[in-house]
Structure formats: structure tokens, C-alpha cells
Structure 1
Amino acid sequence: MLITIADILPPNEIEEIRTMLGSMRFEDGRATAGWSAKLVKDNEQAREGAALTLLRERVTNAIQSNEVFNLAARPKALTPLLFSRYTEGKQYGSHVDNPLMNGVRTDVSFTLFLADPETYDGGELVIESMSGEEEIKLPAGHLVAYDSTTLHRVAPVTGGERLVAVGWAQSYVRDSAQRELLFDLETARRNLFAQHGKTPEFDLLAKSSANLFRMWAEV
């Protein structure tokens, strides 16, 4: 399942976060890559420290409080966020994310865009699949979430600076197709309630959604 979510962060917070990152030190991003990903990873990441800890908490809270993200990912746990910077010439070649990070199984990967797309050239997140490639470059404050099992890459930045926060979620529902079914059911249930209120049909959808989640959830 691939989903884009608008307005995780409002413009004033994005500007504050960019200012905070501008005062932080960055280091070689290969430090957090697996042995094979080190060969294709070429970016910088904000260095660990008290300022980064506070920034992580702020952005993580915004992501965790987003209703659409919670319905799509069904997160049980999140990894600590990485704040990555790609200046001109930087890129991240084709790779698959590590299955475990910080003791968390990676079911859902997500990227929160922090730079306005018109301020840099290139730098698209490219999701690879059997049906082809999908290029994603979103407005600042928007997030894309996708299955961690996919091959993906970041295209070379040819001008400006790409700034993102990336993270991974372990889901209560391991299977991507099951997560998508639950998302569709819950969306239909809420739309039905908005149009007609609490009806017998709404109750049946609520029952099915809850019981499927109960059946598939790993606690």
C-alpha cells in the first residue's frame, strides 16, 4: 500500500524545523545504512544530540497524531526519525530497507518532506515495482508511506537542497494487503456515518472492521 498524506505539519512549524536543522551538524548518512546500502547511500544526516532528540519528539508526535497515518499504518512502534539532507549531486541508489531497525520490525516506511519542491531539482523518491516506477516529490509538510518490502531509491539532486525526515513503523497488522483492506473498510464506514449517521449498515461495517483487526492484530 502506498499513500500520501497532506499537512502532517503546518507551514509555520516547517519553517521552525528547517531553522532548527540549519543550526545542527550533519554527518555521513552511511553510518545508519546496512552493509550493502552503504554502497549506494550518499546523503547527510543530522548528528545525534539533545537538539535532535527534541526535534524527533516534536515531529514524531505530529505523525502519531495524524488520523490517516494511524489508519493506514496501524503502528505498534516507530523507529527514531532520521533527518536527511541531500545537496547537489547527492542520491541514494536502489535498495530495500533493513527488516529490523532499533529492535523494530520495519513494515511501513515513510518520508516526510521538509523542503518546498520548487527549491530543489531532482531528488524524487522512486518506488520500484513489477508495474514500473513511481516518482514522488511532495510539498513540504506532506508524507508518503509505503511498504518496507519494496525496492526504492532517491534520484540525484541536481540543484538546491532536499530535506526530509524518514522513519519506519512496525504495524499491528504485518500483512500489507490486510492493512489496505482495513483502511478501505474504515474509510467506507466513516463516509457512511458522515452521510447517513448510525445505521444498521454502519454497524455491520463497524463489526467487520473491528473483528478483522482483532483477527489479524499482533500484540
Structure 2
Amino acid sequence: MYRILPLLEPAEIAQLRQIAAKAPFVDGKITNPANTAKQNLQLHDAQAYEQSSAMVRDAMLRSPEFMEFTFATALAPPLMAKYQKGMKYGTHGDAAYLQLPKGIVRSDLSCTVFLNDPDEYEGGALRVWLGEASIDFKLKPGEAIVYPSNALHEVTEVTKGERLVAITFIQSRVSDPFKRHMLYELGEIAALEGNKMEEENHMKLRFVRESLYRYWSASGD
């Protein structure tokens, strides 16, 4: 129900970190003053936001695995955020709908792209609850974790150093997590095992997947 994906090239990571080093950041509560769980800093410069957001978005859209896992139909502009010593983001679920300048995006999937090395800070793990179990993520620079937006999650307190990430939310053509996961698995089987199958069986597998995809996306689940 979640996926770790390599997204950014080293040059892109370096450029994003350079943008973050030069641009102003403000209290993350500026976008949600009532959210007492939120303790971070977020990018607050229109030009830097536009440039960094486009870089992360382009990396997502060029990734076949990202598109095959998310079935993305809309993305909120990715936003860089910093967590310095003492900062955290308490347990929460993401808002179902995001009002953006160009329209509303439904948050079916949430995505965190890590931008600095986990050795540069202590604490600061993304903790996601999937069922009754939780998993902590501290990924390499350029790697992203994509997970259901209705999963409870938190960022544990940073006790040393600084954590730098970009976050975004994805509207999928298939909003139901179970159905989306099944479609992804069928696609993986077709890709990995297709050359071992009889052509007729491979064709039937593709037919079933595409029929389910068409039905589940058109019917609104």
C-alpha cells in the first residue's frame, strides 16, 4: 500500500538544496493556523517555490513507476519544508481536498521526497500507520515515499541537525487504495512475467487489468 521510489538525480538534489539555502522559509502554520500539531518551516518565496515545485513535479511525471503506482490525474504543487531541532509534526491525517489556485485536488496519496542525507539529522522520521502497525521512513536524498493520504502519520521530533523534504498530494484516477494496489500488482505481473506466458494468457491478463482500470476509474470506485 506504499512505495519507495527513486525520483531525483544528484544534480537536481543539489539545485533544490541550493534553492532552500537561499530562499526564505516561514512558520508552516501560515497555511493552517489552527493546526497545533504542525511545527515546521515552509518555503515562502514565489519564484523559488515555482522553480523547485516544477523540478520535483517533472521528476514525478517522468517516472514510469510513480505513474504506474499512483495512476495520477492531478498533483498539488510540491512544497519544500524544513524541520530544525525541536520541530515535529504530530499524528494527523491529511485533508481530503486541497483548494489550490487552479482548482481542487483530492488527496488520495501523499508523498514525501527526502532532500538531505539522513545522517545530517537525528529524529525526523516519517512514521506512517498502516493498519495497527507503524513504519518509520528516513530515506536517501532523492528518494520518495508514497502512501495513502488517509493513513495516520507523523514526523518525529528532530533532535539534531535539519531535515529537508518536499511534500505533495496526488489525486488518482482510482481513489480506492485496495483497487489501486491490485491494478498495480497486475501491471507488475504482466511486466515481469509476460514473456514467460503463452501470448494468449498474457493478452487475457492485460485485458482483465485494463477492463478493471476502465471500470474502477470511470465508476468513481
The interval holding the TM-score normalised by the smaller chain is over 0.9
Partner amino acid for 1:189? A
Matched, 1:48 2:49: no
Partner amino acid for 1:13? E
Q: Which residue of 1 is the match for residue 96 of structure 2?
A: 99
Q: How does 1:1-219 map to 2 (within 5 A)?
A: 1-6=1-6, 8-33=7-32, 35=34, 38-101=35-98, 102=100, 103-193=104-194, 195-196=195-196, 199-218=199-218
Q: 1:94 is paired with a residue of what secondary structure?
A: strand
Shift of 1:48: 3.5
Partner amino acid for 2:13? I
Shift of 1:129: 3.6
Structure 1 runs of 4+ off > 4 angstroms? none
Does the Cα contact within 8 Å between 1:112 and 1:143 map onto a contact in 2? yes
Q: 1:217 is paired with a residue of what secondary structure?
A: helix
* Partners of 2:125 and 2:48 in 1: CA distance: 28
Residues paired across the two proteins, number: 215
Does the Cα contact within 8 Å between 1:82 and 1:167 map onto a contact in 2? yes
Shift of 1:11: 1.6
Shift of 1:198: 7.4
* Partners of 2:97 and 2:63 in 1: CA distance: 24
TM-score scaled by structure 2?
Answer: 0.93
Does the Cα contact within 8 Å between 1:56 and 1:81 map onto a contact in 2? yes
* Partners of 2:200 and 2:30 in 1: CA distance: 55
Partner amino acid for 1:19? Q
Q: Where does structure 2 lack aligned partners over 5 or more consecutive residues?
A: none
* Partners of 2:155 and 2:189 in 1: CA distance: 34
Q: CA RMSD in A?
A: 1.5
Q: 1:39 is paired with a residue of what secondary structure?
A: coil
Closer/same/farther in 2, CA of residues 207 and 23 from structure 1, 3 Å limit: same
**Cα displacement string for residues 172-212 of structure 1 (whole angstroms, at most 9, x for unaligned residues):** 0010000000000000000123x438722211111011111
* Partners of 1:181 and 1:214 in 2: CA distance: 14
* Partners of 1:130 and 1:183 in 2: CA distance: 20
Between the aligned residues of both structures, percent identity stands at 31
